[in-house]
């Protein structure tokens, strides 16, 4: 640095001397390098051992049977269909079926292998179902087979009498345990809410477990009273039969007869009695 004298203004050289430079650092110890190499080698060996153990236990293959794989997690729980969420397996034994087994009903039949049931095919004025899959409501009931006829046409479209079969996801995964009373009532309520004018008044006429075609089933029959603009029918007789066919999906038979065709109401019991396991 430069210093200026306060009297002459001339620069002078400072009277001190710079401190001597510090001595150079000692050369690195060969023993420290050796320790670093040994420590790094041990760490590398440990990493290799861990990788080998994980590979042998199947973690990198996603092997769920291994102690750690994948990443010590168990099998994910299958997602539950809506009906299984509403109706978990019952802890108690189901009630015994009511009534006696009906005599077999003779006549032409609808064979719905996809749902797992067959049933009586009624004659004129009924027509084979040709309107594709019919799926409403919140439970995923899917009707694709059966017969129907148009009872009237109004502002919302055709109004139908129908005998339709389908299926509904009812259990979790491959489980075949079905809470029949709960599931039967839930499906009947889903039909009432999804397929009819709201609000409506329900009068229950039958609500019981039975055996149809050698399989346990839940039968719900009821009359609905309702009103819709332009619709002549003011009510309808309804039957919903849920059948445990030994699959994750339960079979469903849905029968509807509008009050404009009350003369056909006796056919409901006849069709229910005709159900067989397909």
127 and 228 part of one domain: yes
204 and 256 part of one domain: yes
Residue 102: predicted pLDDT: 59
Flag whether 3 is in a domain.
Answer: no
150 and 210 part of one domain: yes
Residue 44: predicted pLDDT: 63
- The DSSP line for 262-275 is GGGTHHHHHHHHT-
Residue 47: predicted pLDDT: 61
Number of domains in the chain: 2
53 and 121 part of one domain: no
Residue 37: predicted pLDDT: 44
Range of the domain at 231: 82-277
Flag whether 100 is in a domain.
Answer: yes
Residue 155: predicted pLDDT: 93
CA dihedral 57, 59, 65, 68 (to 10 degrees): 80
For residue 162, what is the domain's CATH number?
A: 3.40.1000.10
Q: Which residues of the chain have pLDDT under 50?
A: 1-19, 30, 33-34, 36-38, 59-77
Flag whether 5 is in a domain.
Answer: no
54 and 162 part of one domain: no
Distances (CA, A) of 76 to 70, 79, 214, 246: 11, 9, 35, 24
Pairing label, strands 127-128, 117-120 = unpaired
Flag whether 94 is in a domain.
Answer: yes
With a CB cutoff of 8 Å and minimum separation 6, the contacts of 235 are: 223, 224, 225, 226, 258, 259
Flag whether 229 is in a domain.
Answer: yes
Residue 105: predicted pLDDT: 76
Residue 49: predicted pLDDT: 59
Q: What would the pLDDT profile of 183-210 be if each residue is shown by its tens digit? A: 999 999 999 999 999 999 999 999 999 9
Flag whether 24 is in a domain.
Answer: no
Q: Last residue of some domain: 20, 45, 76?
A: 76
Flag whether 64 is in a domain.
Answer: yes
Residue 36: predicted pLDDT: 45
């Amino acid at each position: 640095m430069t210093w200026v004298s306060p009297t002459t203004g001339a620069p002078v050289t400072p009277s001190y001397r710079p401190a001597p430079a510090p001595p150079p650092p000692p050369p690195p110890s060969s023993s420290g390098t050796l320790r670093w190499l040994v420590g790094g080698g041990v760490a590398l060996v440990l990493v290799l051992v861990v990788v080998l153990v994980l590979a042998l236990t199947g973690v990198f293959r996603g092997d769920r049977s291994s102690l750690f794989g994948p990443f010590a997690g168990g099998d994910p729980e299958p997602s539950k269909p809506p009906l299984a969420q509403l109706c978990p397996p019952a802890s108690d034994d189901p009630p015994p079926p009511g009534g006696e087994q009906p005599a077999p009903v003779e006549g032409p039949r609808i064979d719905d292998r996809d749902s797992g049931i067959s049933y009586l095919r009624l004659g004129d004025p009924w027509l084979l179902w040709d309107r594709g899959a019919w799926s409403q409501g919140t439970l995923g009931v899917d009707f694709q087979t059966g017969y129907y006829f148009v009872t009237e046409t109004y502002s919302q479209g055709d109004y139908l009498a129908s005998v339709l079969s389908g299926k509904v996801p009812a259990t979790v995964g491959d489980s075949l345990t079905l809470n029949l009373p709960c599931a039967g009532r839930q499906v009947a309520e889903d039909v009432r809410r999804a397929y009819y004018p709201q609000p409506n008044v329900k009068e229950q006429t039958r609500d019981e477990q039975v055996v149809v075609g050698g399989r346990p089933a839940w039968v719900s029959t009821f009359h609905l009273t309702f009103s819709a603009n332009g619709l002549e029918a003011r009510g309808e007789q309804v039957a919903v039969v849920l059948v445990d066919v030994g699959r994750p999906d339960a079979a469903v038979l849905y029968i509807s007869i509008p009050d404009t065709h009350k003369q056909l109401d006796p056919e409901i019991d006849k069709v229910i009695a005709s159900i067989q396991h397909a």
